[in-house]
Amino acid sequence: MENPFYVGALILNPSNEILLQRKDLGYPKKQFAGMWTVFGGAGEIGEDPMETFYREVVKEETGLENLCEINLFRNVYIDETKYGVTHKPSKGPCYFYSARFDGDLNKIRLGEGAGFSIWAEEELKLIENITFPYVFEVIKNFYDSLR
């Protein structure tokens, strides 16, 4: 059964640097293996997007119980088949939530992926070609909205 929706987390520290996850090289969507993206994932039947946010981002992927200022930033329709993904491509609405954390990277318990890092807005151009393309566009729009 196709997932009904997806969520992504635009998590900033007090310096407005964004927390990103790096997919491991064994990531089944080979086109995105080793690339940077936001934390998040697919909704389950019966969940609303905020419930998915807490399950995926807080419980399963980061362990960041102290996220605050969680707000819906944008709802974007994604279709990973446009990028050549053939193994379970994500296709449907994706709710991107903004959130803040205290910046203490020691509180993160990475639940999946090859790692994580924080990136200042001006550093993002360094990883543009190794970031999920639709995610990079949302991140750019997000930073524009902060001005």
pLDDT, one tens digit per residue, over 112-147 is: 999 999 999 999 999 999 999 999 999 999 999 999
Q: What is the mean pLDDT of the chain?
A: 95
| Spatial distance between the Cα atoms of 75 and 100, rounded to a whole number of angstroms | 19
In a domain, 135, yes or no: yes
Per the structure, the complete domain to which residue 105 belongs is given by 6-145
pTM equals: 0.95
Domain count, the chain: 1
The token duo for 139 is 């991140």
pLDDT band at 4 (very low <50, low <70, confident <90, very high): confident
CATH number at residue 81: 3.90.79.10
In a domain, 1, yes or no: no
| Spatial distance between the Cα atoms of 116 and 106, rounded to a whole number of angstroms | 12
In a domain, 21, yes or no: yes
pLDDT band at 1 (very low <50, low <70, confident <90, very high): very low
